[in-house]
């Protein structure tokens, strides 16, 4: 759907957060007659927003509803709107309807932000006017002057679910369970996530060493779309962890901006896409070496006890924790795991922890408590609060020389968001004295 398709129709924006407010203003600038509803609230600071039953009625009377990403597809009113034949779209879908040809979207369960940020860096270094937008925090409406030639978009599953037009290029970094409450089930999550490749992309890029991802992408891929893999036919990660090109250009694993094979795989994805813009391997390798990693992704932080403290607060899925631990071979690691419990299956993580008894496991929050209850044989320390866990990590009682915050769970049990949890971790690192 395009913005122009809304002319002369009764349009209601569902939700008046940051995105709802911006799309409402944009639609009014375009001359669209639009109102706003937030039926899950009884009141609010904006007089124009219809709340409660009035908001519900307004949505059911609409021709088109522009839904904010925070509203889950399993919401009873969303199901009712769809069943009644009311078109439900989103800002992302409307914007892509007019801009898909210049968009490269990065989606997947984890690795989106790093891959998108790196690709933007590579394209900019290569002389293209690139803009980084989407789920990474910048609205798709935030146009540059002059307009960007390429828009690199981090695309969440919430945003992908509503698409009726795919970006020209899509990369899928990984697929494992996440956001199941919003989508309703694991299969619904995969289906909604891969909706990004189902509506006419030109090219889709997928990790060559992830056969399950390749299979699922093939199942949803639009006919005629080109599927590229990060394998020996292009830039890829070799058996040593180096990133290599078919012409022999190589960046050693030790010189990559982030440690671990999973990060190397995401780097290869970004480089594979950048190569589609006629940027040479030599120039891309040089640009890669100047990339500064994003915060909270295996980020070293200052400490007072001589240990290495690493902030990986954005590792909010069990599989992401396994990948982060794997990137620290030969190190004695204490890892802080847990937080808000979303009911995810921790079996992959617990299996890894059992297989590496030298790890010092510190469990926190409802998720940590569930891991302890479901795995009584696991050698781990359980703490009532995050602060107690990181204080112990900085004490003489901790035999490890690395303290890794890689929680495998969100932060909402104790903190407003992951950045607040990271701040508490950093404060504990600085306060630690090993005594």
Q: Which domains does the chain have, with CATH numbers?
A: 3-89 (3.40.50.720), 93-288 (3.40.1190.10), 299-431 (3.90.190.20)
Residue 392 near residue 427, CB atoms below 8 Å = no
Q: How far apart are CA 75 and CA 65, in angstroms?
A: 14
Helices (H) and strands (E) in the chain, counts: 16, 20
| Binding-site residues for ATP | 108-114
Residue 223 near residue 255, CB atoms below 8 Å = no
Q: What is the pLDDT of residue 434?
A: 76
> Which residue ranges in the chain fall short of pLDDT 50?
none
Q: What is the pLDDT of residue 205?
A: 98
Q: What is the pLDDT of residue 45?
A: 86
Dihedral of CA atoms 3, 36, 23, 94 in degrees, nearest 10, equals: -30
Q: What is the pLDDT of residue 294?
A: 84
Q: What is the pLDDT of residue 182?
A: 84
Residue 334 near residue 362, CB atoms below 8 Å = yes
pTM of the predicted structure, to 2 decimals: 0.90
Listed in sequence order, the residues at least 6 apart from 49 whose beta carbon sits closer than 8 Å to its beta carbon are 16, 36, 37, 38, 55
Of 414, 394, 416, 396, nearest to 404 (Cα)? 394
| Binding-site residues | 108-114
CA distances from 225 to 169, 194, 265, 336, 366 (A): 10, 14, 22, 42, 44
């Amino acid at each position: 759907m395009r913005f122009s398709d809304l002319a002369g129709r009764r349009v209601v924006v569902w939700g008046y957060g940051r995105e709802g407010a911006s799309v409402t203003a944009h639609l009014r600038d375009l001359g669209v007659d639009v109102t706003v509803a937030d039926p899950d609230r009884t009141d609010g600071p904006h007089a124009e927003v219809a709340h409660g039953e009035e908001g519900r009625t307004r949505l059911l009377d609409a021709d088109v509803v522009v839904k904010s990403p925070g509203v889950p597809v399993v919401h009873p009113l969303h199901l009712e709107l769809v069943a009644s034949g009311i078109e439900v779209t989103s800002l992302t879908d409307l914007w892509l309807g007019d801009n898909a040809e210049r968009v490269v979207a990065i989606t997947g369960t984890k690795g989106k932000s790093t891959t998108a940020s790196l690709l933007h860096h590579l394209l900019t270094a290569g002389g293209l006017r690139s803009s980084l937008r989407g789920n990474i925090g910048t609205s798709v409406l935030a146009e540059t002057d002059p307009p960007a030639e390429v828009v690199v978009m981090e695309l969440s599953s919430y945003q992908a679910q509503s698409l009726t037009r795919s970006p020209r290029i899509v990369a899928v970094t990984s697929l494992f369970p996440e956001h199941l409450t919003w989508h309703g089930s694991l299969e619904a999550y995969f289906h909604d996530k891969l909706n990004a490749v189902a509506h006419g992309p030109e090219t889709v890029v997928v990790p060559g060493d992830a056969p399950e991802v390749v299979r699922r992408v093939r199942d949803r891929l639009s006919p005629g779309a080109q599927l590229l893999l990060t394998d020996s036919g292009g830039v890829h990660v070799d058996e040593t962890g180096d990133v290599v090109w078919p012409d022999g250009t190589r960046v050693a694993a030790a010189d990559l901006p982030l440690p671990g094979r999973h990060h190397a795989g995401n780097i290869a994805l970004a480089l594979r896409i950048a190569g589609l813009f006629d940027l040479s391997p030599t120039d891309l390798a040089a640009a890669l070496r100047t990339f500064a990693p994003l915060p909270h992704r295996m980020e070293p932080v200052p400490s007072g006890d001589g240990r290495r403290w690493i902030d990986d607060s954005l590792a909010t899925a069990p599989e992401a924790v396994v990948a982060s631990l794997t990137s620290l071979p030969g190190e004695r690691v204490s890892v802080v795991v847990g937080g808000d419990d979303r009911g995810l299956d921790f079996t992959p993580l617990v299996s890894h922890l059992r297989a590496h008894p030298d790890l010092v496991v510190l469990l926190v929050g409802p998720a940590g408590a569930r891991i302890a209850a479901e795995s009584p044989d696991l050698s781990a320390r359980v703490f009532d609060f995050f602060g107690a866990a990181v204080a112990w990590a900085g004490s003489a009682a901790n035999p490890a020389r690395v303290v890794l915050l890689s929680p495998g769970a969100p932060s909402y049990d104790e903190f407003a968001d992951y950045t607040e949890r990271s701040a508490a971790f950093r404060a504990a690192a600085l306060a630690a004295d090993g005594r």
